[in-house]
Amino acid sequence: MKRRDFLKTSMVAGAALSLNFEGLQAALSNRTLTVEEAPDLVAVMGGEPEAMLDKALETLGGIGNYVKKGQKVVIKPNIGWDRTPELAGNTNPDLIKALVKKCLGAGAEKVTVFDHTCDNWQKCYASSGIADAVKEAGGVIVPANDEQYYKEVSIPGGVTLKKAKIHEALLEADVWFNVPILKNHGGAKLSCAMKNMMGIVWDRRYFHQQDLQQCIADICTWQKKPALHIVDAYRMMFQNGPQGRSAADVATLKSLIVSPNIIAADTASLALFNQVEKLDMAAVTHITKGEALHLGSTDLKKINIKRIKL
């Protein structure tokens, strides 16, 4: 590991969270949140995935605000790469396990988990630890490696992307959760809640052949929106994404950002990313393109944010 990377990783590893939390506080500073108001976004730092999820959901009124008895629930993590959890290429399996348990505890009839992977789907599901995590929690993990699993829908709000084939599990779901990992991405520059939406569609080549950033914004206008965007930043790949090369690409932040609004989630996550590696909003144009499509505001001063340090 290069000395520069070692110092950068060490700065944010383990319990050394104060710099990130204070920096995120400054980046997300806004008007005082009153006790009566439900926050638009919750940022939790300093805990393990299950504890941070518990605190975030509690702050938002509980899982029962989103999942009702008898509903079919889908959880869409990032499981795109044949990587172990320590390399931060995929969503943390402990977070997915905790969320599956929460949904079933709220009375969900069935909780399904999938992703359209980039590497071999069986290897991705196994190496990420998510397949075992889902099964242990009582959920069902399904493949997404064949076009037969997808059905075409219209994207009337899209600028470039006007239609897409979307996984049938989502079409049949009563409610779903978008659970990305925050990381660097060579093409999109930032992979977070908006970028994670590419994993619900079959033909991702179209995104790359056209305008990648615009198509990412376009797919987020699909009318069946996630109940929450739950951004895993327990470990964050700050360089060489989306696959990463080694542990030198990873910083341990022990953080979680949760919001029903995808623009708020990605904007706040970018602020957190910038505590480790500087990335200008101008480079992540899918966020501002999404704002132009009225998906939310990048001005975090306009929303109520609750910051919690465990």
CA–CA separation, 60 and 256 (whole Å): 14
Delimit the domains of the chain by residue range.
Answer: 3-309
CA–CA separation, 91 and 215 (whole Å): 22
Q: What is the pLDDT of residue 21?
A: 56
Please tell me the CATH superfamily of domain 3-309, with its number: LarA, N-terminal domain (3.40.50.11440)
Closest listed residue to residue 278, CA positions, set 13, 2, 23: 23
Q: What is the pLDDT of residue 61?
A: 97
Closest listed residue to residue 57, CA positions, set 224, 220, 193, 177: 177
Find all residues with CB under 8 Å of 107, minimum gap 6, and list them: 67, 68, 69, 70, 71
Q: What is the pLDDT of residue 20?
A: 55
Do residues 99 and 228 make contact, with C-beta atoms less than 8 angstroms apart?
no
Query: What does the block give as tokens for 196?
Result: 């994670």
* Residues β-bridged to residue 153: 164
pLDDT in tens, 227-255: 999 999 999 999 999 999 999 999 999 99
Q: What is the pLDDT of residue 8?
A: 52
Per-residue pLDDT of the chain (310 residues; tens, 9 = 90+): 444 454 454 444 433 344 455 556 655 554 444 445 789 999 999 999 999 999 999 999 999 999 999 999 999 999 999 999 999 999 999 999 999 999 999 999 999 999 999 999 999 999 999 999 999 999 999 999 999 999 999 999 999 999 999 999 999 999 999 999 999 999 999 999 999 999 999 999 999 999 999 999 999 999 999 999 999 999 999 999 999 999 999 999 999 999 999 999 999 999 999 999 999 999 999 999 999 999 999 999 999 999 999 9
pLDDT in tens, 133-175: 999 999 999 999 999 999 999 999 999 999 999 999 999 999 9
